[in-house]
Structure 1
Amino acid sequence: MAATRPATGSAEPMNGIVFGVIVAISFCHLLNDMMQSLLPAIYPALKSDLHLSFGQIGLVTLAYQITASILQPLVGLYADKRPTPLALPGGTLFSLAGLTVLSAAHVYWLVLVGASLLGMGSSVFHPESSRVARMAAGQRHGLAQSLFQVGGNAGQALGPLAAALVVVRWGQSSLAFFALLALLSGAVLWNVAAWYRNHGLGRLAASRKIAEGVSLPQGQAARGIAILLALIFSKYVYLASLTSYYTFYLIQRFGLSVQNVQFHLFAFLAAVAAGTILGGPLGDRFGRKYVIWFSILGALPFTLLLPHASLFWTGPITVAIGLILASAFPAIVVFAQELVPGKVGMISGLFFGFSFGMGGIGAAALGWLADRTDIDTVYQVCAFLPAIGLLTALLPDPGKAGRPA
């Protein structure tokens, strides 16, 4: 009988978190973001080999992130109306193609093509896998979102480490080896897609029925979404300054080697992964608004100190920035999903896409600034971005926006 099925079945759609599914998509998130983080990790080599300016480096990031930014909300909106479980394994083919092109790209336009293909892979993976995380969450939405996102953060941290140990040693062509990881991800996601089709859709339908009675007035929800997007802007433009230009900053200011700076970048991205683990569960326990307050404004003292720090303190300060800033995103995404219930795919795509887009625009703008001034100026300007966190005071009451959706 259907009533005897375990909590993963569609007959008990809201009971219990399905850790097996969340671990699977978190692992695929690790593979996906590790493959994609190889792009900024090889920027120093691309700049040297292809004689690129900082502005051109920024445009590569822009090509990658704008592709993902534009497509992600559209993918999410389509999936809200017509769920497509097989989109998850199918999307990995774009990442495979992107790294294959980058491994053989010896002209600038091919680098842009490869970066765009990587962005298309993200545009499919992120909104659909975030939807699966919510399906499998039960009542622990923050925890599920954190576990899902920490896989991506771990992958972003492993990308520079893989670049330091493999790509720096064997060259750009070694990216083709990492492209094979897309096949592994596709195999895992094929099984996730089967759970999505057989059990996840039933859970999602039940959550939509509950959501009908708890939504906020449209004006309050729209105001909350606008504020959350402003917070995403401050967070991801600042993070773009570190993911795209931190290596150049360390080389220029402290004279470190290319291989050495990859380990510093790994430490920063590992701190981002650790912060992501904390943000969701703390939001479940204490309220998402309070986590957002701490995460954005709490980074401000450290961002103000960074441009004036010695090499000894630069590492710990950037680790603190990564740890604090990263705790916001799981709380922001779940908060937004609860502001607009029943639109999980669209909201997930909007926020993942907007974060990618702001990172891309920020990277291009900061590259332009670095070309006309210097890298130090970039961090002096960006130091004030976390002050935008003061807008958190205008978010709707967490007791209203924090109810299950």
Structure 2
Amino acid sequence: MGSQSFSSAPLQAENLLYRRALYTFSGAHFLNDLVTTGMVPALVVMYKHALDLNYTQSTLIVLVSYFASSVTQPVFGMLTDRRPRVWLFSLGVFLSISGLAFTAVAPSLGWLLVCIAVSGFGSGVFHPEASRGTHFASGLKKGLAQAIFQVGGNAGQAVGPLMIPLFLAHTGIHGLIWLLPVAFLSLILTVPLLGWMNGKVQNIKRTKKEMAGKNHIPGVILLVLVIILRSWCQVGVVIFLPFYLKHASLETTELLNFVFVGAGALGTLFGGMISDRVGMKRLLVVSMFLATPFALLLPHLSGWLSVLDLLCFGFSVLSSFSVGVVYMQKLLPKNIALASGLSIGFGVGAGGIGSVFMGGISDLFGVAAVFTILSFLPMIGAILSWFLPNEKKLAS
């Protein structure tokens, strides 16, 4: 009896949340997304004026950032599923921050895009290992753990636009160089966790052949499409709201972006907490359907009603963010890093492609046309979500 309880102790430990690691992953995610998906879209307005760019050239900045991230995430996900490289966790967040810092001294659009590409590449190599580490630290609470991890990223996205009115509006683009000390601080945060991550990877190697479940490719394709539509909603609002509200100050529009993305961070936390009770597929369908009326109303509101609408829109459309990651891991049970690369990387990064498409629409038909398109994306996403496989059947 004593030996049985002793042998069950490691198993019980595996089922518990490793909070120190989890909050480190979340903190690193905050720093990474602060500069990539948070600041880069918000900086488009400043880059546009500094280098005298048109709308299409301006959104090309977001495309390069997101494309560099979206291509590298699934690629490195596949590579690290075969041979994990935990040091990419620290290197990635360092490159994402320092790459954006050097845009402060970029003399032309070409050099600016090079620096942005380095930052996007860093984000791409960071996410697979960070998401895998979160999976290791989650124990049995997969939804909650991914919610905490994703809230870190969403909080970074929300705070990113606030850097414009609080700091960069006073320093200009050149103030970005002060991100370099933050890049080195990220190493102090992340490097101490690499030993624990490596130990977990070695344990997984020994048990990988015994893992149950098969990859569900049709479900993966469908979920990626849903994530792309959700990403287009988010990127479209963050980039084009300052252009749409052209009579409002830059500080006002960035505060509205904070409301939208900040509400999304809160929605992510709540979505992750309740997904284990109501089911991931149900949460995904309902959240996208709930976002539809708020997306439809957004172009027709002003004043405090628009703030309230952005709050509800952000909360609903982004409440499935962490759920999408766990869902993808269930669809790809033998490829955890690839699952995060597709759900956080390729799917979300495709928002960059959507931003350039919407930039072209703005040049041809005006910014209002973009918000008309955004109005219908959550509804399409909800319909596609309905055809996803039930996660309970995947687990059985």
Q: Which interval holds the TM-score relative to the shorter structure?
A: over 0.9
For residues 201 and 76 of structure 1, what CA distance do their matches in structure 2 show? 17
2:369 aligned with 1:369, yes or no? no
Of 234, 242, 253, the match for 1:239:
234
Residues 4, 159 of structure 1: alpha-carbon distance in 2 compared, 3 angstrom cutoff: farther
Of 254, 260, 278, the residue aligned with 1:268 is 260
Report the equivalent of 1:26: 26
1:44 to 1:199, Cα distance in 2 relative to 1, 3 A: same
1:323 aligns with 2:315: yes
In 1, Cα distance between equivalents of 2:199 and 2:110: 43
Q: Report how far residue 5 of structure 1 moved.
A: 10
Q: CA deviation at 1:174?
A: 1.0
Is it true that 1:288 corresponds to 2:280 in the alignment?
Answer: yes
1:42 is paired with a residue whose SS is helix
Output one character per residue of 1:163-194: Cα deviation in whole Å (capped at 9) or x when no partner.
Answer: 21111111111111123212111221111212
Q: Does the aligned pair in 1 maintain the 2:56–2:360 contact within 8 Å?
A: yes
CA RMSD of aligned residues (A): 2.1
Is the 8 Å Cα contact of residues 243 and 265 (structure 1) preserved in structure 2?
yes
- 2:385 alignment partner, one of 387, 392, 405: 392
Cα distance 1:207–1:299, how it changes in 2: closer, same or farther (>3 A)?
Answer: farther
Q: Which amino acid aligns with 1:247?
A: P
> Deviation per CA, 1:196-219, whole angstroms, max 9, x where unpaired?
0124542x457746632xx25x5x
Q: Is the 8 A contact 2:225 2:347 kept in 1?
A: no
- 1:261 offset after TM fit, Å? 1.5
Quote the offset at 1:35 in angstroms. 2.0
**Cross-structure match for 1:58:** 59
TM-score, length of structure 1 as denominator length: 0.91
Q: 2:269 aligned to 266, 270, 277, which one?
A: 277
Counterparts of residues 137-152 of structure 1 (less than 5 Å): 137-152=138-153
| Amino acid of the structure 2 residue aligned with 1:21 | A
Deviations 1:110-129 (A, max 9, x none): 22112111101111111110
Report the equivalent of 2:50. Answer: 49
Unaligned 5+ runs, structure 1? none
Structure 1 Cα separation of the partners of residues 119 and 166 of structure 2? 22
Separation (CA, whole Å) in 2 of partners of 1:174 and 1:402: 49
Counting only pairs closer than 5 Å after superposition, residues 3-402 of structure 1 correspond to structure 2 as: 14-36=14-36, 37-199=38-200, 201-202=202-203, 204-205=204-205, 208=208, 211-212=211-212, 215-216=213-214, 221-250=216-245, 252=246, 255-388=247-380, 389-402=382-395
The two structures have a TM-score, normalised by structure 2, of 0.93
Paired AA for residue 157 in structure 2: Q
Distance 1:6 1:208 in 2: 20
Q: Which moved more, 1:30-39 or 1:131-140?
A: 30-39
Give the distance between the partners of 1:57 and 1:179, measured in 2 at CA: 24
SS class of match (1:138): coil
**Structure 2 CA distance, aligned partners of 1:296 and 1:207?**
37
SS at match of 2:350: helix
Cα distance change, pair 6–61 in 1 and its aligned pair in 2 (3 A):
farther
| Structure 2 CA distance for partners of 1:6 and 1:307, relative to 1, 3 Å | farther
Question: Does the 8 Å contact 1:25/1:192 carry over to 2?
Answer: no
CA deviation string 1:238-276 (max 9, x = no partner)? 1111121112112x2xx1111222111111111111111
- Aligned identity (percent) is 32
Q: Is the 8 A contact 2:25 2:130 kept in 1?
A: yes
CA distance in 2, matches of 1:206, 1:271: 41
Code of the residue aligned with 2:188 in structure 1: it is A
Aligned-partner Cα distance in 2 for 1:147–1:256: 34
Residue type of the alignment partner of 2:331: L
Deviation at 1:6, TM superposition (A): 11
Q: In 2 relative to 1, CA 246–380 (structure 1 residues): closer, same or farther, beyond 3 Å?
A: same
Q: Deviations over 1:39-64 (max 9, x none)?
A: 22222221112111111111110000
Paired residues of 1:236 and 1:355 also in contact (CA < 8 A)? yes
Whichever residue aligns with residue 232 of structure 1, its letter is I
Q: 1:398 to 1:39 in 2, by over 3 A?
A: closer
Going from structure 1 to structure 2, the CA distance change for 1:262 and 1:380 (only over 3 Å counts) comes to same
Alignment check: 8 A CA contact 2:31 2:93 kept: no
C-alpha distance after superposition, 1:92-117 (max 9, x if no partner)? 33224312321112311122112111
Q: Could you say if the C-alpha distance between residues 135 and 378 of structure 1 is closer, same or farther in structure 2, counting changes exceeding 3 Å?
A: same
Letter of the 2:230 counterpart: K
SS at match of 1:299: helix
User: Could you tell which deviates more after superposition, 297-306 or 179-188?
Assistant: 179-188
Aligned counterparts of 2:306 and 2:112: Cα–Cα separation in 1? 31
Cα distance change on mapping 1:178 and 1:297 into 2, 3 Å? same
CA distance in 2, matches of 1:94, 1:150: 21
CA distance 1:402–1:328, shift in 2 (3 Å): farther
